[in-house]
Chains A and B, each alone.
Chain A
Amino acid sequence: MSEARELQALLRAYAEAEPPPLSPEAEDRLITSVLDEVLPVDVGAAQADDDLLASVLDEVLPLAPDDDEPIVAPRAGANRSLWWALAALALLTFGTTARLSALHDTGAPLALSAATDPNLIVLEAQIGMRFQLVQGRPVDLDFQGRRVHLEGEGAVQVTAMEPPEIVLEQGELNASWSPVRPGPLRVRHANDAVDVHSGTSRVAVKGEHLAWQIVEGQADAAPGAPKLRVHRHAPTEPRSPDAEPRVRLEPAAPVAPEAVAPTPTAEGTADEGTEAPPAALPPAPTAESMYRDAELAIASGDITAASRSLDTLRAEWPDSPTAEVALIELARLHKQDDPRRAVADALAYQVLYPDGRFYDEAARLAEELTTPRQGTSAPRVVPLRLPGLHR
């Protein structure tokens, strides 16, 4: 056989080769995780009837406190309906102030009450308590009088009482969170990331494959940890211009090559104990006002502030049309000072907005920054993982 024909046959064989088959279970897991990522189950419809109560018992009793199941999605639907059922049970059966005992994943009694706000559930924290946080169903977790407000989506497990510590799980995110100072904790699933808004906290992130990003706060991250944005919750604290940043913003562990390097934007805060309520509340920010802030910061050459505004815009209003512009603006902004971040943003843009107005620009930018310079073999930007595609 001639060399050319031999090569042709070899290439045909290569084209005909199939990857190892996926088991039905693995396929189910994969598809479910994608669906949960993109189309979360709507559990908003009330179903507090006898069948539901029966299903609650069926769901609650077999659950183990800490099984070895992968965190990715499969149990989310069941836990969500469980949580909804417990909330509905509290509200419909016992009124808005009554208390009741139910079961949580550990099988131990769970004190649960409904507050005057019909949407708010109050839980007494107990070590080992585990429950599912559902979008639109905020929870006040009571640590012996110290309330932690939780909003968002994902599994929550209480791991310590003093100081309070909980573990958040959502998709592949697995982060333990412990407040340094009191403040609410809001967990929100925003496109490709989990946004965690909180007061000053320590956050340890576990997980693989995902990029992480600390906008503000402190995090201990395992290599290749999930994308996590930590925002201080109370931006209105007075700030001494000379005050040193009270929170160091850096990863405590090396980040895997595929993870996007964090670009913390440290912001100093007031000294402990000097807080005073602001004289007047500023108007509520909007996506547009946040973008204007970024534009002003760019105009004044304050890249850090501009980046922070754009990050906040994307985190707070991920579905806004301005969020698309913010993402490409971030890529442009960091092209010079942080090309690694610029590439991450450019790639994220291409994935999130395949038909976006700036798709070509994002592609060019990523291409330019990842193409080796003339005469070198190394790419201009060191290995980088597509940010947040897993979520």
Chain B
Amino acid sequence: MTDTIAKAQAGDRAAMNAVLREQLPGIRRRVHRYVRPPASDDVVQDVLIAVARGLPSFRGDCSLSSWCTRIAVRTSFHYLRSTQNIIPFPEDFEPVDQTSAAARFDARDDLRALERILATLSPERRMVFILQDVEGHSAPEVAELLEIPVGTVYGRLRDARRMVQDALTAQSLRSAGGAR
């Protein structure tokens, strides 16, 4: 892949094609977590263009996918902040592995509920929450990705967790009430 990247950096169209195709699934997966369709498709295209334009400046300090992740996160974050776009969750957004954790409960309903809850968060809190609690980045990594101080990450994460927990509790109480 290194040769391909070097060729793509030099402007080789075929190599750039290969690089973009290689990175596309990861970029889509991430962007679709942050941005609601159909805008997510636009943001994916934005990210690909930014990747293609910025590739000559990629120095290999990190893996290409990490570098693309950074671009995907920042582009999505800017988009969310600028449009107040609510969180993505298309009707056909399916868990990949039905035997995994998702299968232990009614995945669709619960995931939709989570989506609705995340949609009530500000883009700042939402991104921090998804990056750290969903994607598993550390707070310093989140700070670096979003270009904010680590202390801000902790503050936003604390708020987001509290709001998500409160909302889930409220929903659970409502469900229990409805069942009686």
Contacts and interface: CB of A to CB of B under 8 A. Distances in A.
Interface of A: 1, 3, 6-7, 9-20, 22, 27, 30-31, 33-35, 37-39, 41, 209, 257-258, 343, 347, 350-352, 354-355, 363, 366-367, 370, 379, 381, 383-386, 389-391
Contact of B83 (A15, A35, A366, A385): A385
23 contacts: A7-B165, A10-B114, A12-B100, A13-B102, A16-B100, A18-B93, A19-B32, A19-B40, A31-B24, A34-B49, A34-B52, A35-B16, A37-B49, A39-B13, A257-B83, A352-B53, A354-B54, A355-B54, A367-B147, A385-B83, A386-B75, A389-B46, A390-B49
Contacts of B101: 9-10, 12-13, 16
B21 to A, nearest CB: 6
A1 B104 CA distance: 10
Interface of B: 11, 13, 16-17, 20-21, 24, 28-29, 32-33, 40, 42, 44-46, 48-50, 52-54, 57, 71, 74-75, 78-79, 81-84, 88, 90, 92-97, 100-102, 104-105, 107, 110-111, 114, 133-136, 147-148, 164-165, 168-169, 172
A16 B81 contact: no
Contacts of A11: 114, 133-134
Contacts of B57: 354-355
Given A17-B111, A379-B81, A389-B46, A39 B28 contact: no
B26 to A, nearest CB: 11
Contacts of B172: 3
B147 to A, nearest CB: 5
A226 B123 CA distance: 26
Contact of B111 (A10, A35, A350, A381): A10
B149 to A, nearest CB: 11
A12 B40 contact: no
**By CB atoms of chain B within 10 A, which of A7, A37, A39 has the most?**
A39
B82 A343 contact: yes
Contacts, number: 154
B48 A34 contact: yes
Contacts of B105: 6, 9-10
Q: Which 4 A-B pairs have the closest CB atoms?
A: A13-B102, A19-B32, A389-B46, A38-B52
B90 A209 contact: no
Nearest to B104: A9
Contacts of A367: 147-148
Given A9-B104, A35-B52, A354-B50, A390 B32 contact: no
